[in-house]
Structure 1
Amino acid sequence: MDEIQLPSKNKPATRWLHGQLVEEIGLSICAHELATGTVVKTEEFEFQYKVSRSVVRETVRVLESMGLVSSTRRVGVLVLPPSNWNLFDPQIIRWRLASSARITQLRSLNELRSSIEPAAARLAAIRAPLVSTTELVALAQRMKIAAQNEDAELFLSLDVRFHQLILECSGNEMFSKLNSLVKEVLTGRTHYGLMPAHPKEEALQLHIDVANRIQKGAASAAHDSMVAIMELAMEEMDKVWASGLEAE
């Protein structure tokens, strides 16, 4: 049997903690550096990453819980196809965004958000308490100021909180569980340059509109404004992606 070449950063053994090994192998699987159907012996992981068997076993258990691998004592660790992966796991989302398939991943995630966030905005307009809607309005205003000041880091953190708060305010516990997903999408698309460097005035105003309409209890209007945000985000991402292709 040919020796399997495992991706490696050649880090010292003392720096390899369990979490780092999960990160390294998980990223390799999601980037298809470790292809579907690949079988790796526990001993190969131990040798390649210079870690103990207990660390490898715990790492494999975590990756199994994500649906990335299955483990059989006499066979080894089998890399499973994407159809088995828990695609809602925040780590898998982050790893896929770090791979060459990030555009496909972002499109899928944007389509998911487009189905859920407008509904969340509608419910928030009906259910959100005053203290939450007040925070939402303040966040939208602060986003505009951060954009004007070209403070990209602050803008991103406010944008993440804005969309997470709407999910929370929906009163739907299933929507609230998507908080981590939204954070990874917004962070990933910014990190990989898939959004304009400077937010459009139209997008900023739409966030203010959503916040104001939720606070006023205008459910249908809040829904429609969130739809517009989702559509604009997809348009902007497509333009940035298209310009990148033309430059290659």
Structure 2
Amino acid sequence: MSSSLHNRVIDAVGTHIVDGHTPAGTVMLSEQIERAQGVSRSVVREAIRVLAAMGLVESVKRVGIRVRPQSGWNAFDPVLIRWRLAGAGRGAQLRSLTELRASVEPMAAELAAQHCPQAMSGELMTVAAQMRTVGRSGDLERFLALDIHFHRLVLHGSGNEMFAKLDEVIAAVLSGRTGLGLMPAHPHETALQWHVDVADAIQGGHPVRARESMELIMRRTIAEVEESWVHTARIFF
């Protein structure tokens, strides 16, 4: 099976569902997808299996492939997040993820200051220093990689396995924010300093300072991107 064909079908069907072009309740047939995408039955079958795991569709015997409502979607799937950030659901997705980060990351930083292994906290300090240098240079691609690594270390350093499992979700929103042009060409000096402050507090074992410094980062993040969702209605299931 061609991996590229498989991924193309997943993207084509998935993005149409996420953008609302194929609304909840719609019944699709494998034969229709085969003809529309020009692929074999086996490719469609595997693509539908992946989309079903994401909560987007369900196979109903003697009916077809039915699109599920948004309440059934796996909201933490990184691919689904990428689709929403690139489509009509951008504002709602950014808001949900940013609010999630603002709730989780300060606590993760506080826990990391209490429990983070020395080697990990030392690496965090190194990454924070590199972020400052790279941020000043304007290399957003390299800065993004460091930013993702920084926040992943904080989550994992908390010693909370559920926080750690959010690393790909947060990587997706950081990547999406950069890809959508919502990052300044040169990150603010104060934000760069706050990252250093978080790392220093974690390495020094200062939980309150670690939390407060991360809260400053999160509040700055909200201020920079909230314009993208200010007119977006909230979703209630």
What TM-score range do you get, normalising by the shorter chain?
over 0.9
2:64 aligned with 1:76, yes or no? yes
Cα shift at 1:102: 0.6
2:53 aligned with 1:62, yes or no? no
For structure 1, list consecutive stretches of 5 or more residues without a partner in the other structure: 1-13, 243-248
Distance 1:36 1:240, change over 3 A: closer
Cα shift at 1:240: 7.1
Paired amino acid for 1:228: L
Structure with the larger RCO, 1 or 2 (CA within 8 Å, 6+ apart):
2
Q: Partner of 1:17: helix, strand, or coil? A: helix
Q: Could you say which residue in structure 2 is the equivalent of 1:53?
A: 41
Q: Could you say which residue in structure 2 is the equivalent of 1:131?
A: 119
TM-score, structure 1 length as denominator? 0.88
Identity of matched residues, %: 49
Q: Could you say which residue in structure 1 is the equivalent of 2:16?
A: 28
TM-score, structure 2 length as denominator? 0.92
Q: Partner of 1:197: helix, strand, or coil? A: coil
Aligned residues: 230
Once residues 240 and 86 of structure 1 are traced to their aligned partners in structure 2, the CA distance between those partners, rounded to angstroms, is 23
Q: Partner of 1:51: helix, strand, or coil? A: coil
Cα shift at 1:19: 2.2
Residues 68 and 84 in structure 1, CA contact (< 8 A), matched pair in contact too: yes
Once residues 180 and 110 of structure 1 are traced to their aligned partners in structure 2, the CA distance between those partners, rounded to angstroms, is 14
Q: Partner of 2:192: helix, strand, or coil? A: helix
Once residues 175 and 34 of structure 2 are traced to their aligned partners in structure 1, the CA distance between those partners, rounded to angstroms, is 33
Query: Aligned-residue CA RMSD in angstroms?
Result: 1.7
- Greater CA drift, 138-147 or 33-42: 33-42
Residues 16 and 51 in structure 1, CA contact (< 8 A), matched pair in contact too: no
Which digits, 9 at most, give the CA deviation of each residue in 1:45-67, with x for residues without a partner?
01111111111111111111111
Paired amino acid for 1:114: A
Cα shift at 1:22: 1.3
- Correspondences of 1:1-248 after superposition (within 5 Å): 17-238=5-226
Paired amino acid for 1:212: D
Once residues 185 and 11 of structure 2 are traced to their aligned partners in structure 1, the CA distance between those partners, rounded to angstroms, is 29
Residues 69 and 77 in structure 1, CA contact (< 8 A), matched pair in contact too: yes
Cα shift at 1:197: 2.4
Which digits, 9 at most, give the CA deviation of each residue in 1:221-242, with x for residues without a partner?
1011111100100101135778
Cα shift at 1:194: 1.9
- Greater CA drift, 68-77 or 216-225: 68-77
Cα shift at 1:157: 0.4
Q: Partner of 2:159: helix, strand, or coil? A: coil
Residues 95 and 226 in structure 2, CA contact (< 8 A), matched pair in contact too: no
Paired amino acid for 2:93: Q
Cα shift at 1:27: 1.6
Which digits, 9 at most, give the CA deviation of each residue in 1:46-98, with x for residues without a partner?
11111111111111111111110111232111111110100011111111111
